[in-house]
A and B are shown apart, each in its own frame.
Chain A
Amino acid sequence: MLKIKHFIQQSWLLIVSSFCFGLLIAVTNAAWSPRIEQNQKDKLNNLMRGLIADANDFKMVLEAVQIPGRKGRTTKTDIYEADDVDGRSIGFAFIASGPGFADKIKLVIAVDGKCEKFFGFDVLSSNETPGFGSKIKEDYYRNQFKGAPAGKLELVKVGKTEKLDSKIVAISGATVSSEAVVKIFNMYIDKVKEKLKAKGLIDNGR
C-alpha cells in the first residue's frame, strides 16, 4: 500500500500531464486530419492528372495490391483507373516506391488503357541529393519514360534520350537515383499488369 502511495506521489504529475497532452493531440488530430487526408488526395490527383492529361475522373479499381519487393518483402499499392469525359478507360495510375540514394523514392506511374505503354511518372516524394539525384524530377529524364513500352526497362549510361524504347539513359552524376527509378518501374509493372488482367480491366476486348 505504501509503495502505491509513494508511486502516486512521485508520478501523479506525469500521469495527469500524459492524459492532458494526449487529449490535446487527439483533439488537434481530429480537427485537422480531414484536411491532411484531403491534401494527400489532391496531390495524388494533381500528379495523376498531369500524367494522363485527358483524364476526367480517377477511380480506385484495385486496392492494396501486393507487390513482391527485395529480400522477400512486399509492399502494397492501390491502382486507379483514369476515365475520359465519356467514361471510357484511358489509362491506369499507381503509386510505386523503392529505395533511392538517400531515402525512399515514391513515384506515381501511369500506363495507357491497354497497359502497353507508359504515360510517364512523377515524383510524389524523394530526398535525393539536390543538384544530382533530384534531377529525376526534371523533364529531360522523365520524358524518356513517356511512350516507353510498359515492360522491363533497362538503364544505360550512354544513348539517345529522345528515342522512346525500353532503354533509359542515366543522369550523369546521379546513376544510383536513375537506377532506383528504373528498378521501381521494373518491380511494379509486371505485377500491376497481372492484377489488371486478372480483374479483366485489360486484354478483354474493351
Chain B
Amino acid sequence: MAAESKALNPGLYKQTLLAGLWRENPVFRLLLGMCPTLAVTAAVKPALTMGLSVIFVLICSNIVVSLMRNLLKPHLRILMFTLTIATFVTIADLFLKAFQPEMSETLGPYVPLIIVNCIIICRAEACASKNGLGLSIIDALGMGVGFTFALCVLAGIREILSTGAIWEIKVLPAGFVPWAAMSMPVGAFITLGLLIGLVNKISGKQAKSSCH
C-alpha cells in the first residue's frame, strides 16, 4: 500500500527530481563523481558529453536495478550493480567511438571510468534498489541533470578564462590575456572550491530564511 501511494505521489516525483538539481546536487552538495568533474571540465563540449553519458548510464542502470530489486541477494548486490553499470558504460563508450570520435578521444579513459563513478552506484544503492521504476527513473534524471549542470557551469567558467571563448565562440575582447592555469588541474580545483563555497553560502541563506 505504501509503495502504491509512493508511486502515485506526484509531489514526491517533483521533490526527487529537484533534489538532484540543487539540494542534493551530486557535485556541489554530495561531492560525488569528483574525478570527471576535475578532469573533463576544461571546456564545455567534453563536459556536456560526459554529463549526457552519465545521464544515459544512470537512467539505464537505475531501470535495471529497480526491475531486479526483489531478486537481489544482499551480499551480491554490489557485484550486480557493477555488472549493470559496466554494461551501459561500455555501450556509451562504443556509441561515442562510433558517432562522436573526436569527443571520445578528448574524454579518453574518463568514459570507461564512469563505471567507478560513485554517483551511479550511490543511486543504485540508495534509490533504485529500494523503489519502483518511475521513482528510480526520475531520481536518475534529476541526479544526472544536476551532475551535467555542475560540470557545464565549471567548464564554462574555466573555458572562458582559459581561452576567452565558450563553446569555441569568442566572448571576451581581443585584448584579454588567457589564464593558462584555468585549463590545468589547478584551475579545476580552484573553480570547484569557489563554486562549492558559493553554493554553501546560498544554501545557508536559504536554510536561515526558511527557519525564520
Contact = CB atoms under 8 A, between A and B. Distances in A.
Contact of A32 (B87, B95, B162, B184): B95
Interface stretch (A6-14, A145-153, A194-202): A6-14
Where chain B touches its partner, the secondary structure class is: helix
B90 interface: yes
A74 interface: no
A29 B95 CA distance: 9
A94 B68 CA distance: 50
Contacts of A24: 87, 91
B101 A39 contact: yes
Interface residues of B, number: 26
A204 interface: no
Contacts of B86: 21
Residue from A11, A21, A129 whose CB has the most chain B CB atoms within 10 Å: A21
Nearest to B91: A28
Interface stretch (B11-19, B30-38, B76-84, B166-174): B76-84
B83 A14 contact: yes
A18 B87 CA distance: 9
A32 B83 contact: no
7 contacts: A13-B68, A24-B87, A25-B90, A35-B99, A36-B97, A130-B184, A131-B183
A190 to B, nearest CB: 30
B116 interface: no
Interface of A: 10-11, 13-14, 17-18, 21, 24-25, 28-29, 32-33, 35-36, 39-40, 43, 125, 127, 129-132
B194 interface: no
Interface in B89-109: 90-91, 94-95, 97-99, 101, 105, 108
Interface string B159-191: 000100000000000000000100110000000
A29 B80 contact: no
A150 to B, nearest CB: 28
Nearest to B178: A131
Contacts of B97: 32, 36, 39
Contact of A17 (B84, B94, B98): B84
